[in-house]
A and B are shown apart, each in its own frame.
Chain A
Amino acid sequence: MDLERFCSASRVVIVAGKGGVGKTTVTAALATAAARTGMSVLIVEVEGKSGLAACFGVAPLTYEEAELRPRVRARTLTPDDALLEYLDGHGMRRISKRLTRSGALDVVATAVPGMRDILVLGKVKQLEQARAADLIILDAPAAGHAVSFLLSARGLLDAVKVGPIQRQAAEVVELLSDPTRSQVLLVTLPEETPVNELVDTAYAVEDRAGVALGPIVVNQCVPPLTLDGDADADAARAGITLAASDRDALKAAATFRADLTRRQDEQCLRLAERLPLPQLRLPYFFTADVGPTEIEQLADDLVLGIGAMADVR
C-alpha cells in the first residue's frame, strides 16, 4: 500500500498499547513519515510525558501548540483543560472559574463516568472537524486505560440521556465508529506478555469499542544477524588466536542473540496466528536512545513496511 494512501485512510490515528512499548516513538515515526508526503500532522498527547520532545530533539512540550519539525505540530491535552475550554465554549465561563476555585471539578467529572475521556476525545473530534491538520495522531493513555478510554463514549451514552455532554459523547462515538475518520494503531513488543495483552486489547477495541484497527506495530525488534559457525573455529581459520576472555564473551553474546531473535520470531508468529492483521516491525537500536536520527530511520522502516502491505478494500 502506498504511504500517502495509508496516511490519508483516516483523519485520526489513535496510537495505543501498554506502558513501555514505545507508543510515543511510534507516534513520532508515523508523524514523520506522513509529513514527508507533504501532509500536515498534529500530534495530540494526553499524559504530559517528556518523551515526544526528546524524539524530535526539542524543548519539552507545554500546553501551547509547538512545531516539532516542518509540518509536524504537537499539543498536550488534559481533561481539566478540555473541560474548562468546553464550558467556556458553551457560554459557561463563570461556572468554569467557580468549578476550578471550589475544586469541584473532581466531583463533576466523577459524577459522570468517563467524562474526562469524553472531553479529551471530544476535543480531538473538534480538531478533526476544524481540519486542524491533514492527519491527527493521538498518543493514547497507557495500559488497560486505552480500552476504557475508547469505551467511555458508549458507556456515557448509556448513562446520560440528555444535555451537551450526551451530545458530545454521541459525536465521539460517530468519530470512533467511522473508519474513514479514525483508526487505532496498536503497538506491542515481540515478547510474550505484551503480545497476550495486545490480542486482548485488539478484540476489545474492535468488538466492544467498535473502532477500526490498523496494522499492528511490533516495536523494538532486534535486527537479525547471521552468526554462523563457531567464533573460535573461524578465528583459527583466519589465523587469529582469540584471548580466552574474548572467546567466552563472543560465545555468550552469540547464544544470547540467537535466543533473543528466535523467541522474538516465535512471538511475532504467535501474534500473527492469533490476530489476522498486518504487522509493521520496527527495529531496536543498540547504539543509542531514540532521538531525531532514529525517528527518521523508524519512519523509513514504516514506509517500507506500509509499502509491503496489501491494499485493503
Chain B
Amino acid sequence: MTAPIELVRHRHVVLCCGTGGVGKTTTAATFAIEGARRGRNAVVVTIDPAKRLANTLGLEHLSNSAHEIAREWWDPDGDAVPGGRLHALMLDTETTFDQLVQTYARTEEQARGILSNRFYRNIAGALSGTQEYMAMEKLYELHDRGGFDLIVVDTPPTRHALDFLDAPRRLTRLLDNRLFRMLMVPTRGVVRVGGVAAAAFLKTISRVVGTEAVDDVVAFFRAFEGMEEGFRDRAAQVMQLLAADETAFVLVTSPRRDAVEEAEYFAGRLADGEFSVDALVVNRVHERYSDVEPSSLRDRARELEGRRSEASSRLAAHYANLADLEEVAVRERAELAGLEDRMGDASVVHVPELGHDVHDFAALRAVGRHLMGAD
C-alpha cells in the first residue's frame, strides 16, 4: 500500500527527500495536485522552486501562508473528483523562525529583544539546518492548524538534506551547548555571564571575531533564557509527527550515478532514524526502445557502415543513435538496480525523461499520470 496513488489518497503527510537537481519540487507539486484531483484538501510546501514552476504555483514571492490555486488551473477539463482543493506556499525561513520566537517568548519585550539581536538574525538567516528546521516547523503548523488532508513537503536541496530529521533537535542542541551553560550561570534568579574562566574564554574569542559579535551572542543567550522548554517540546512533537503512520517518506532521485549514491545514503540515514522509505521516485529515466542488446545494435551499425552505400550509411546512423540511447537506458537501470533492491516494501516508480522542463500544469499532469499509474 505504498504506491504513490495510495499515498496521495490516504496519507496525511508526504515528505519528498533527495539531493538537489533531481526534480524533488516537481515531484512534490505533482503529489499535491494528484491529491487535490482525488478530492483531498492538499497543500504543497516548496523550498526555492525554479522560477517558472513557482509562477505556475502562483508563488512569485516568499509566502508564509498557503494560498489556494484556482481549480480551473489544475482541473481544466473538470474531470477531477469534486471537493478537492490545492494550495501552495514557498517557505520563508526567517519569518517562520520569527513567529516561532513570538510563540514561545513569555513577554513582548523578550520577543523584541531576541528578534533584534544580530546573533539571532544570523541564526535565522544562515545557521546551517535552519531552513530544514523551519520546513519541519511549517509542516507542524499546517498539520496543527491548517485543516489540510494532505500536506506535501519539499525538503531543502542541501547535500545532507536529511538534516531536517536532526533539525528540530539542532537548536535545542545549540542551547544545550557547554559554552552556553558555561556563560550562563544563574545567580539568584538573574542570569549573568559566568565565572572568570568564561570571561577569559570570551576575551580570546573576541580577539578572533571582534567584541561586538561576542556581545551579541551573550545578549542572545540572555534573552533566550526560559524559552528552551517550549522549543524542546515542539521539537518532540515534530518528531512524533514524522514517525506517525500517517506520514510517508518519498525518496526522489534521478538515474545518474551521483544521484543514486546520494539516494542510497539517504535511505540509510532514514533507516538509522527508524524511518522507512515508502516510495522511490526516479525522475528522468530514459525509455528502452528495443529488447536488443546495445552492443548488437552497435555491431549492426558498424556492419551497415561497411557496406558503403548512401542508404546503408544513413541507416547505420539510425542504428548508432538507437545504440546510444539504449546504452544510456541500460546503464541507468544497472545504476538503479542496487538501490531498488534495497527498497524492500517500498514502491518504485520511474518517470520517463520527457525531454522538456516541467513547469506548467499540463506537464505536471503528465508527470502525475506516470507517477499514479492507471487509476
Cβ of B1 under 8 Å from chain A? no
Cβ-defined partner of B321 (8 Å) among A112, A191, A225 = A225
B218 closest partner in A (C-beta): A111
Asked if residues B311 and A142 are in contact (CB atoms below 8 Å), the reply is no
Cβ of A1 under 8 Å from chain B? no
Asked if residues B213 and A21 are in contact (CB atoms below 8 Å), the reply is no
Asked if residues B321 and A227 are in contact (CB atoms below 8 Å), the reply is yes
- The 0/1 profile, CB within 8 Å of A marked 1, for residues 195-228 of chain B is 0000001001111111011101100000000000
Q: Pick the most buried of B19, B173, B207: most chain A CB atoms within 10 A of its CB.
A: B207
Cβ-defined partner of B325 (8 Å) among A99, A159, A256 = A256
Cβ-defined partner of B122 (8 Å) among A20, A111, A165 = A111
| Docked complex: A256-281 residues within 8 A CB-CB of B | 256-257, 259-260, 263
Chain A interface size, as a band, is: 35 or more
Cβ-defined partner of B210 (8 Å) among A90, A103, A162 = A162
A290 closest partner in B (C-beta): B257
| Docked complex: B316-375 residues within 8 A CB-CB of A | 317-322, 324-328, 331, 355-357, 359
Asked if residues B317 and A227 are in contact (CB atoms below 8 Å), the reply is yes
B-side contacts of A47, CB under 8 Å = 159
- The 0/1 profile, CB within 8 Å of A marked 1, for residues 135-163 of chain B is 00000000000000000000001010000
Cβ-defined partner of A226 (8 Å) among B119, B209, B317, B324 = B317
Asked if residues A253 and B327 are in contact (CB atoms below 8 Å), the reply is no
Cβ of B188 under 8 Å from chain A? no
B-side contacts of A286, CB under 8 Å = 324-325, 327-328
Q: CA separation between A18 and B158, bound complex, in Å? A: 11
Cβ of B51 under 8 Å from chain A? yes
A-side contacts of B217, CB under 8 Å = 107, 111
Asked if residues B20 and A107 are in contact (CB atoms below 8 Å), the reply is no
Asked if residues B315 and A240 are in contact (CB atoms below 8 Å), the reply is yes
Say yes or no: A238-B315 contact (C-beta < 8 A), given A19-B20, A113-B126, A163-B210: yes
Say yes or no: A263-B321 contact (C-beta < 8 A), given A21-B21, A142-B20, A234-B315: no
For residue A95, give the distance in angstroms from its CB to the closest CB of chain B: 5
Q: CA separation between A246 and B318, bound complex, in Å? A: 10
Cβ of A311 under 8 Å from chain B? no
Cβ-defined partner of B322 (8 Å) among A112, A197, A250 = A250
Cβ-defined partner of A164 (8 Å) among B207, B304, B315 = B207
For residue A108, give the distance in angstroms from its CB to the closest CB of chain B: 6
Cβ of A228 under 8 Å from chain B? yes
- The 0/1 profile, CB within 8 Å of B marked 1, for residues 74-100 of chain A is 000000000000010010100100110
Cβ of A129 under 8 Å from chain B? no
Binds A, one of B34-42, B74-82, B174-182, B234-242: B174-182
Cβ of B70 under 8 Å from chain A? no
Q: CA separation between A98 and B205, bound complex, in Å? A: 11
Asked if residues A18 and B208 are in contact (CB atoms below 8 Å), the reply is no
- The 0/1 profile, CB within 8 Å of B marked 1, for residues 158-172 of chain A is 011111111000000
A189 closest partner in B (C-beta): B21
Asked if residues B126 and A103 are in contact (CB atoms below 8 Å), the reply is no
Asked if residues B204 and A92 are in contact (CB atoms below 8 Å), the reply is yes
Asked if residues A102 and B355 are in contact (CB atoms below 8 Å), the reply is no
| Docked complex: A98-142 residues within 8 A CB-CB of B | 98-99, 101-104, 106-108, 110-115, 142
Cβ-defined partner of A193 (8 Å) among B205, B324, B325, B357 = B357
For residue A240, give the distance in angstroms from its CB to the closest CB of chain B: 7
Asked if residues A113 and B178 are in contact (CB atoms below 8 Å), the reply is no
Cβ-defined partner of A111 (8 Å) among B209, B304, B315 = B209
Say yes or no: A112-B213 contact (C-beta < 8 A), given A92-B207, A226-B317, A286-B327: yes
B-side contacts of A143, CB under 8 Å = 20, 157
Q: Pick the most buried of A104, A160, A237: most chain B CB atoms within 10 A of its CB.
A: A104
Cβ of B256 under 8 Å from chain A? yes
A-side contacts of B287, CB under 8 Å = 252
Q: CA separation between A66 and B173, bound complex, in Å? A: 35
A-side contacts of B256, CB under 8 Å = 20
Cβ-defined partner of B307 (8 Å) among A115, A238, A252, A288 = A238
Asked if residues A225 and B317 are in contact (CB atoms below 8 Å), the reply is yes
Cβ-defined partner of A196 (8 Å) among B22, B50, B182, B315 = B50
Q: CA separation between A225 and B314, bound complex, in Å? A: 11
Q: CA separation between A50 and B182, bound complex, in Å? A: 39
For residue B312, give the distance in angstroms from its CB to the closest CB of chain A: 4
A-side contacts of B122, CB under 8 Å = 110-113
A-side contacts of B312, CB under 8 Å = 234, 238, 240
B-side contacts of A240, CB under 8 Å = 312, 315
Please give the residue numbers on chain A whose beta carbons come within 8 Å of chain B beta carbons, in ascending order: 18-21, 47, 49-51, 87, 90, 92, 95, 98-99, 101-104, 106-108, 110-115, 142-144, 159-166, 191-193, 196-197, 225-229, 231, 234-235, 237-238, 240, 245-246, 248-250, 252-254, 256-257, 259-260, 263, 286-289
| A-B CB contact pairs (8 Å), 24 listed | A19-B159, A20-B19, A20-B20, A20-B256, A87-B208, A95-B208, A102-B182, A103-B177, A104-B178, A106-B127, A112-B210, A144-B48, A192-B357, A197-B50, A231-B318, A238-B304, A245-B290, A249-B322, A250-B319, A253-B318, A254-B318, A259-B355, A260-B355, A286-B324
Please give the residue numbers on chain B whose beta carbons come within 8 Å of chain A beta carbons, in ascending order: 19-22, 48, 50-52, 118-119, 122-123, 125-127, 157, 159, 173-174, 177-180, 182, 201, 204-210, 212-214, 216-217, 254, 256-259, 261, 287, 289-292, 304, 307, 309, 311-312, 314-315, 317-322, 324-328, 331, 355-357, 359
Instruction: Kindly list the 6 A-B residue pairs having the minimum CB-CB distance in the complex, ordered from nearest.
Output: A20-B21, A19-B20, A237-B311, A104-B179, A249-B289, A249-B290
5 new A-B contacts at CB < 8 Å, known A19-B157, A87-B208:
A20-B254, A108-B209, A225-B321, A240-B312, A286-B325
